[in-house]
Amino acid sequence: MSKAGLISFRAHGSPTFSFAVCPPAALLLICFPHMFGVLHAAIIHGYPIFHVLRVSLVLLGGSFFCNNASHAWNDLIEAPIDALIERTRTRPIPRGAVSRTAALLFTITQALGAAAFLLLLPAEAAIAAIPNIAGTAYYPFSKRHSYFPQLVLGFCLSWGILVGGSALGVAKIWMDTSTLCLLTASISWVVIFDTIYAHQDLADDVKVGVKSTAVLFQNHSRAFLWCLVIGMSASLVASGYYGHMSLLYYVFAVGGSLWSVATMVMSVELNDPASCWKWFSQGFLLTGSAILCGLVMEFVARREETSDLCS
């Protein structure tokens, strides 16, 4: 999946200068899991609100550069395939508006920008980010090797949960059961919306030989998506159970996300690219917002509970 495009500008008498646009939707896809991780860790470990806000702002800045780097890298590697797909052949690299060298240089500068933000965080965050970096580098190649590039993308985006918790200072966060259940739920969420996204190009992908869960399941994709909806909701419930969450979490994070993904899977017309785009662009936002809202409300409730005990 790649929605950020490379845009080139030419000043009069000067060479073309190119950079990648960072759409709000693409940025949110990276920010949501990081914020999930920060809030979840803050709830479990009782971190103060100013520390949570500071870390969240640092991660937001890092996510901006990470988003630019990952999308530029993805556009660079996928350019030969994009040139064969009707919907993507007019992207800047396939049509020659941006050179591969310019795209690579931009990717490197943005990756360095993202790495600079890691210097503002504990060493645990940098260590936790290593699998994410490796997965992101591999992702554009995955659809050539496997029918599950959506799972790779789910890993790349959702791993931000572990980075977010580690950024607060949690050691060995990958050992926490509640966090791992939240990670599993997030991966399922990403696979759901990116499978719907992949259905936009199903006919061309089959013709060209690009692999995806949409290509693998085709007419059985809806059944596959319902299985993911069940798995996602069960993982969120398990995360709440092991994290000793209150009713607020279950109503908003679990109930809200279940309503949004179920509505998306039930309503999307997988044979209609316009419907796939509509439900992808709206559905991921509703689901991510529901989970974020549930975690925020749980965090506030825990703080109020703590204040009452101390007064």
CATH number, domain at 57? 1.10.357.140
152 falls within a domain: yes
215 falls within a domain: yes
309 falls within a domain: no
Q: What's the half-sphere exposure (Cβ side, CA atoms, 13 Å) at 93?
A: 27
- The reported pLDDT for the residue numbered 273 is 93
Q: Is pLDDT of 195 > 70? A: yes
311 falls within a domain: no
Lowest model confidence (mean pLDDT) among 35-39, 52-56, 172-176? 172-176
What does the buried/exposed string (b/e) look like for 39-55 if buried means 16 or more CB atoms within 10 Å of the residue's CB?
Answer: bbbbbbeebeeeebeeb
- The reported pLDDT for the residue numbered 311 is 53
Count the Cβ atoms, other than its own, within 10 Å of residue 149. 25
Q: How would residue 63 be classed by pLDDT, with cut points 50, 70 and 90?
A: very high
Q: Is pLDDT of 154 > 50? A: yes
Rounded Cα–Cα distance for residues 217 and 210 (Å): 14
310 falls within a domain: no
Kindly give, in sequence order, each residue whose CB lies less than 8 Å from that of residue 155, ignoring residues fewer than 6 positions away.
131, 135, 187
308 falls within a domain: no
For the whole model, what pTM was predicted? 0.89
Kindly give, in sequence order, each residue whose CB lies less than 8 Å from that of residue 233, ignoring residues fewer than 6 positions away.
185, 254, 257, 258
Range of the structural domain that residue 37 is part of:
6-303
Q: Which residue from 141, 278, 290 is spatially nearest to 199, judged by alpha carbons?
A: 278
- The reported pLDDT for the residue numbered 308 is 52
Mean pLDDT estimate for the chain: 89
Kindly give, in sequence order, each residue whose CB lies less than 8 Å from that of residue 248, ignoring residues fewer than 6 positions away.
294, 297, 298, 301
Q: Number of structural domains, the chain?
A: 1
1 falls within a domain: no
* Three-state DSSP state, 23: coil
